[in-house]
A and B are shown apart, each in its own frame.
Chain A
Amino acid sequence: MTDEFDVEVDADDLTPMTDGEVVLGDPSVVVDDLHVTYRILGTRRKAVEAAPQGRMRKLVGRSLGSTGGVTEIHAVRGVSFVARHGESIGIVGTNGSGKSTTLQALAGLIQPSQGSVYVAGIPSLLGVSAVLVRKLTGARNIMIGGLALGLTKDEVEERFDEIVEFADIGDFVHLPMTTYSAGMAARLRFAISTAAVPDVLMIDEALATGDAAFRERSRQRVDEIRRQAGTVFVVSHSLASIKAMCTRAIWIDKGLVRMDGPAEDVTAAYHEHTRARSGPAKG
């Protein structure tokens, strides 16, 4: 019983994967020795070294502590895999292991510092921050998101009602997104991103804030996308969600692929690993 690790129990409500229906197709995503390095401004790894003596020097040291420093973070250190049409892949790993960064590189939103990523069609990433433009209404965000995804104005208007209905936000659609709850924003983003069936959809923790009903609906949407030969990536800390939604899982640890295989096996191994690490207090 590996599910005991999960904080949320909602995921257990999900109906099981409808496996076997989807035949895996040609490669849709090829990742070849991907490296990503970040640059963080205004920080120093060792801001305070030897504490300076004297009041004046302390003051100067403190105010210069964050001046001119650039920290490089090597978040992804050589990830390679091939994904295929009709496949849904869960990505697991501890915080800071490079999962989200990998997805952003897959989506073409950050540039690899080394290696390459090849993707079929236009990828769509559902990130942690679900809001596109905070100040604007949900309706405007639907238009902006749809147009950015390459739909025409008419196509967006055509799908508008469907998007609002799927997001289940009712009259809130005419209010600025500052008034939305995290779950509402996430639902709207999910609805926008899947309005045009994407070739490659990446979901980065975007479902974590949704309620059980929404998660079930989004799982169905993911299945639908797979059936239409899309490829779906899911980053989640809920192993039950990964098992329910994914056929395959990749475990990323310290920027490297530690394990790649059937979702069942990888989540089990990952669970074993985290339980061992959290020590006997947990077990």
Chain B
Amino acid sequence: MTTDATNDATAGMTPAEIAERYGLHQMGVRPGLREYVRSLWTRRDFMLVLARSRAEAENQNTYLGRVWDILNPTLNAAVYVLIFGLLLKTRDGMTNVIGFIVVGTFMYKFFQDSVTGAARAIPRNLNLVRSLHFPRAVLPISSVLAELAMLLPALAVMAGFVLVSDRWMLHLDSTPNWRWLLIVPAVLLLFMFSTGAGFVLARLGARWPDVLNFLPFVLRIGMYASGVIFSIDHYLAGGGVLATIMNYQPVAVYLNLARQAMLDEPSAQLSGELWLVGLAWAVVTLVVGFVIFWRDEARYGRD
């Protein structure tokens, strides 16, 4: 069986020539960027199913199940409202302290869970990576999508918090209003930014698992540097370089956009400029992050 027509036909050819002649493609090499995007697009159903499965499996082993999707951010917000809003009284420069903190913590929690999940995307799915061949970018994307799916019911809770605190504590008749719809593009931009940042962290997390231990501390500093529970403007009222950096760094921008949508705060008045900054951060981070992730495509799951 070793001597037949094909064997004679390939005699004297190099392996690369044989591969070329019979239309074989090389394994273990990174596909071109365009080809990669195309194959990713054909797996969009795969991403959605993975995201849904992950969102469903999250609280599978608890009695309350998916109620935790709502309970978790609510309790998280309640703790911060209690400590920072009521006990430490960092409410200077805010109109609605509860609304301010609730919007901040809900949005930041989405960002935090998204990038943490993305950083673990490859190690967590090592079984999949080691047995099936698909564009690996599916994993960080579906991980952030799962967080988005869990954020949607939480947004309703967030709206409830703002409504109650505005109407019953501040007696503002202007709530709710059409401006609330801006929360949709605000979340969309934050989703794009989180996915981009998630790509970078997914590559780092796959290569240096130590990053996963380091990440929580960075995110905790990020939380205080982004004005999640207090107004940056109020504490850096003098302006200057530091205030500019603090106000225009992406996470602070997205928190501000969400607050522009949901609240009527002096530090977060409607600003077209800030929306453009948010759009720029989102697009640039998503594209750069994607390319950074793609560059290591052939190596994921190798060790």
Contacts and interface: CB of A to CB of B under 8 A. Distances in A.
Nearest to B61: A135
Contacts of B133: 107-109, 122-124, 148
B131 A144 contact: no
A25 to B, nearest CB: 7
Nearest to B2: A261
B18 interface: yes
Given A30-B24, A107-B27, A118-B15, A132 B128 contact: yes
B299 interface: yes
A24 interface: yes
Interface string B114-135: 0000000000010111111110
Contacts of A150: 42-43, 134
A153 B50 CA distance: 13
Given A30-B15, A30-B24, A133 B303 contact: no
Contact of A129 (B27, B127, B132, B302): B127
Interface string B121-165: 000010111111110000000000000000000000000000000
Interface residues of A, number: 59
Contact of A144 (B15, B25, B46): B46
B249 interface: no
Given A119-B27, A140-B53, A25 B42 contact: no
A242 interface: no
B132 A27 contact: no
B238 interface: no
Nearest to B17: A30
Contacts of B29: 111, 116
Contacts of A38: 302-303
Contacts of A127: 130-131
B88 interface: no
A48 interface: no
A27 B16 contact: no
Interface string A27-51: 1111110000011110000000000
Contacts of B46: 144, 147-148
B200 to A, nearest CB: 20
B301 interface: yes
A132 B205 CA distance: 20
A208 interface: no
A145 B132 contact: yes
Nearest to B47: A147
A144 B60 contact: no
Name the residue in A38, A123, A148, A189 with the highest tally of chain B Cβ atoms < 10 Å from its Cβ. Answer: A148
A258 to B, nearest CB: 17
Q: Which 8 A-B pairs have the closest CB atoms?
A: A118-B19, A32-B15, A108-B27, A147-B46, A118-B24, A117-B27, A148-B132, A111-B28
15 contacts: A24-B1, A27-B10, A30-B19, A30-B24, A80-B15, A82-B15, A109-B129, A111-B298, A116-B15, A123-B27, A127-B130, A129-B131, A144-B128, A147-B46, A148-B132
